[in-house]
Amino acid sequence: MNQIISSESSTALSADTVLVRKYLDRAVRPAVLDEETQKTYKANITQLMRQKNARLVAHYYTDAVLQDLAEESGGFVGDSLEMARFGRDCDAEILIVAGVKFMGESAKILSPEKTVLMPTLEATCSLDIACPIDKFSAFCDQHSERTVVVYANTSAAVKARADWVVTSSIALDVVEHLMEQGKKVLWAPDKHLGSYIQKTTGADMLLWDAACIVHEEFKVRGLADMRKLYPNAAILAHPESPSAVLEMADVVGSTTQIINAAKQSEKSEIIVATDQGIFHKLQQVAPEKKFIIAPTAGVEASCRSCAQCPWMGMNSLESLYGSLQESSNEVCVDSALATQAMIPLQRMLDFAVNNQLKVRGKA
Ligand code: 13P
Ligand code: SF4
């Protein structure tokens, strides 16, 4: 069974859409800094991090300058699973998470003894917003015979209600493992990732109805046209993209899996269906290749995201410096909730250690 719930009528805007728009109104892009100012900020931040024994952990979707700073200062750039692991294992007293809220919360849950700061606490995720704990908990209660598997892009409260937390790099393997045990799955919140897992594994899954506003804009028609322009190109896609886009992809995987596939690909042209922030790392690991962004629904003013997460884009050198200097924007998770959320998170991390992660498809 593969059922999608939808609580609203299709004519009116759903409550989730209205809520996501409210958050989007507050997602202001930081000012672009000239090179000299960037240099000064980078030097000041590096010095402060040394003084305070702090480490910067950044996601591939954040600004290139933050990714460089993380690597140059002994921090880390990675996908959401790797960010969580690095944060837990490093010996810093302070972690600064450049990413979105759920990443900061995961870091805090896994490292309760560390102070976790974020450049901004306003950076969230449409998947997290569209899966409020009260509705989600009621949904779980209605289907108590199912194993609850939630994507990492959720609140601490939703994680605390789950049996498993997964990221996109491990979701297929975990659901396959549960299927082999004869388990039925309740999946939330990303319907595209859920339906991709369901189709690939054949697992019995009940899906929550939410989507990433960035990946949902990749359109199969535009992609088919682009393939005509670049007939020899490989297509790499993040599994939050719609199923028609995923069906055209040579490789479907997490951000790190996309980067690895690009590096290993024999193709010299690569079309990428994920946030444009990843191009910084792609160009570093395969400078000889041409990377092309997959087409989105609109351009400029007609485009809600244009393959750029508005919340990831809120992280800046200025806001990072401010939060580090004042120890502001601290991520706090209720300790009882954190203890409960740690169980499914730890289950994922143990599973990752015991299983070789796979990338489906070939480029
Ligand atoms: P990854 O785990 O692949 O980095 O994805 C996180 C995310 O938010 C993608 O939109
Ligand atoms: Fe959430 Fe999409 Fe942004 Fe990732 S890209 S943080 S899934 S809104």
pLDDT at 10: 39
pLDDT at 300: 61
Q: Identify the residue with better confidence: 5 or 363.
A: 5
CA atoms within 13 Å, Cβ hemisphere of 51: 9
Check: CB of residue 261 under 8 Å from CB of residue 359: yes
311 Cα to the center of ligand 2, angstroms: 8
Check: CB of residue 337 under 8 Å from CB of residue 87: no
Report which protein residue has its CA nearest ligand 1's atom 3: 254
Ligand 2: atom nearest CA of 274 is: 5
Per-chain mean pLDDT for the chain: 92
153 Cα to the center of ligand 2, angstroms: 8
pLDDT digits (tens, 9 = 90+) for 179-206: 999 999 999 999 999 999 999 999 999 9
- State which of 15-19, 83-87, 262-266 shows the largest mean pLDDT: 262-266
- Among the listed residues 184, 218, 176, the one whose alpha carbon sits nearest the alpha carbon of residue 200: 176
pLDDT digits (tens, 9 = 90+) for 116-164: 999 999 999 999 999 999 999 999 999 999 999 999 999 999 999 999 9
pLDDT at 9: 37
Extended beta strands in the chain, E state: 2-4, 54-59, 76-78, 94-98, 115-117, 147-151, 164-166, 185-188, 205-207, 234-237, 251-252, 269-273, 290-293, 360-361
Asked if the model's pLDDT at residue 7 lies above 60, the reply is no
pLDDT at 359: 39
Which 8-state DSSP code applies to residue 210? B
pLDDT at 21: 80
pLDDT at 67: 98
Ligand 1: atom nearest CA of 309 is: 10
- pLDDT tier at 6, thresholds 50, 70, 90: very low
The full length of the chain comes to: 363
Mean pLDDT of 12-26: 75
pLDDT digits (tens, 9 = 90+) for 40-92: 999 999 999 999 999 999 999 999 999 999 999 999 999 998 998 999 999 99
For the entire predicted model, the pTM comes to 0.92
pLDDT digits (tens, 9 = 90+) for 205-260: 999 999 999 999 999 999 999 999 999 999 999 999 999 999 999 999 999 999 99
Report which protein residue has its CA nearest ligand 1's atom 6: 80
Report which protein residue has its CA nearest ligand 1's atom 2: 80
Mean pLDDT of 252-274: 97
51 Cα to the center of ligand 1, angstroms: 31
Ligand lying closest to the C-alpha of residue 217:
2
